[in-house]
Structure 1
Amino acid sequence: MIRKIIKIDKKKCNGCGICADACHEGAIGMVEGKAELLRDDYCDGLGDCLPACPAGAISFEEREAAAYDEAAVKERMAAKKAAAAPRPAESQLSQWPVQIKLAPVNAPYFDNAKLLIAADCTAYAYAAFHSDFIAGRITLVGCPKLDAVDYSEKLTAIITNNNIKDVTVVRMEVPCCGGIEQAVKTALQNSGKMIPWQVVTISIGGQILA
């Protein structure tokens, strides 16, 4: 079909790439440092790229060209957007199970382990939970309010029967999370071991408070 479509003068093109950015359909690309119309059916002929060109290298012409394929353009741009979207980080979890109630008392992964004991909600509230807390640690999670159980006996057994290097407790700022912190304190005391430990508190807004 004969229709209006853009024309790029490569002699005038200075390779700035502004036109490629201005083309919402992705019809223009940079090839060997020069702007180029990649496909006729991606050009809608509206010329959003014309005023963007500082070198005056783009103009309109009427010629035989494939019809503008709006569906193909939308599919291409959706794929481009998906490819540019941030990809989720890889899981840093190194063992299973993670629930305190289900965890074994003895397991090879506890040997010389840095132990993370976390309230269930913390992984949802704190976006970088895997990279900042799980990485390099053996992870145990629980919610004393929902489980309606005192974890101290199970944690005492784990700490007593294994060579734990240190313990990190991650809890939410809400009062019910005090149960998991207290359970760890009790377990450490009952084990009779002097193990370095720390408590990190996460706000309901996902920020580290302490």
Structure 2
Amino acid sequence: MNRRIIEINETLCNGCKLCVTACHEGAIEMVDGKARLISDVYCDGLGDCLPECPTGAIKMIEREAAPYDEALVMQRISEREAREAAPVKEVAPPGSPCGCPGMAAKAIRRDHATSTTSSSQENHEQVQVDHHQAPSELSQWPVQLNLVHPQAPYLQGADILIAADCTAYAYGDFHRDFIKGKITLIGCPKLDDNQHYQEKLTDIFRLNNPRSITVTRMQVPCCGGIVSAVRQAMLAAQVIVPYREVTIGTDGTLLQG
């Protein structure tokens, strides 16, 4: 049958994954870094993905296509939800009885003279700050969004910064202007699973009642994915708090926010 269906130009696709998030039917997946319509039967032809594409790689056409199959879509969604709900068993690496050391949560308390780090093992380390360099303002570990546990105690009632990881390298005073006084979560929407980011952030927002949310992104199209993930997570968690978006140019200038 002839019907409306999406067409994706893989040459224009930048791999931002925004269309994957926008397609509620799961008709689009990333294949070798490019968005691809995996089956005609999953595409309802309504085009929710079109406005999310920053490069215009998706358009609506009319062609011979298998009819949209809502039953198969619902089955696919159910299977996906079951996989996501399944508990993940964390296996400790050899020689590490407590799991990956990089995932051990700890808060970091700072003053002008010293930096004190405390962890669940109650080990304390004092580090003399070198006053010839700008001090770190990082207040917790880990910072990579994939490694942060949604129920880490430092998240409760926090001012949260969600940063595209390139922003800290591009903007010279990032610690002073953005990290200071906040819990920092970093990620790359182009290289990581943006859908997973959205789900993780939804859990974090829902469980921890954040005081405020700040998002920093680069002035490149693929960075829109982290903004989309945060917005969708706030909606899903029904969180209404002070919200700020900041865009940083590739030359390190502050462009917006």
Superposition TM-score tier, normalisation by shorter sequence? 0.5 to 0.7
Aligned to 1:4: none
Question: Is 1:166 aligned to 2:244, yes or no?
Answer: no
Write out aligned runs for 1:131-170 (5 A): 131-150=176-195, 151-170=197-216
Taking a change above 3 Å as real, the CA distance of residues 138 and 159 of structure 1, as seen in their structure-2 partners, is same
Query: Can you give the 5+ residue segments of structure 2 that lack an aligned partner in the other structure?
Result: 1-130
CA contact (8 A) 1:188 1:195 kept: no
Question: Is 1:100 aligned to 2:145, yes or no?
Answer: yes
Separation in structure 1 between the aligned mates of residue 132 and residue 248 of structure 2, nearest angstrom: 24
User: With structure 2 as the length reference, what TM-score do the two structures score?
Assistant: 0.48
Separation in structure 2 between the aligned mates of residue 179 and residue 199 of structure 1, nearest angstrom: 13
Separation in structure 2 between the aligned mates of residue 170 and residue 117 of structure 1, nearest angstrom: 7
Look up the equivalent residue of 2:151 and give its one-letter code. N
CA contact (8 A) 1:117 1:167 kept: yes
Q: Rg: which structure is higher?
A: 1
**Shift in Å, 1:148:** 3.4
**Alignment deviations for residues 116-152 of structure 1 (CA, whole Å, 9 cap, x no partner):** 0000100000000000000000000000111133211
**Shift in Å, 1:194:** 1.1
Separation in structure 2 between the aligned mates of residue 88 and residue 124 of structure 1, nearest angstrom: 16
Look up the equivalent residue of 1:129 and give its one-letter code. F
For these two proteins, the number of residue pairs brought into alignment is: 125
SS of 2:254's partner is coil
**Shift in Å, 1:87:** 2.6
Question: Is 1:185 aligned to 2:251, yes or no?
Answer: no
Question: Is 1:203 aligned to 2:244, yes or no?
Answer: no
**Shift in Å, 1:189:** 0.3
Look up the equivalent residue of 1:118 and give its one-letter code. A
Separation in structure 2 between the aligned mates of residue 196 and residue 98 of structure 1, nearest angstrom: 22
User: With structure 1 as the length reference, what TM-score do the two structures score?
Assistant: 0.58
CA contact (8 A) 2:150 2:207 kept: yes
Query: Can you give the 5+ residue segments of structure 1 that lack an aligned partner in the other structure?
Result: 1-85
**Shift in Å, 1:163:** 1.9
CA RMSD of aligned residues (A): 1.1
Aligned to 1:129: 174
CA contact (8 A) 1:118 1:170 kept: yes
Write out aligned runs for 1:111-122 (5 A): 111-122=156-167
**Shift in Å, 1:111:** 1.6
SS of 2:137's partner is coil
Look up the equivalent residue of 1:142 and give its one-letter code. G
Name segments (4+ residues, structure 1) moved above 4 Å: none
CA contact (8 A) 2:194 2:226 kept: no
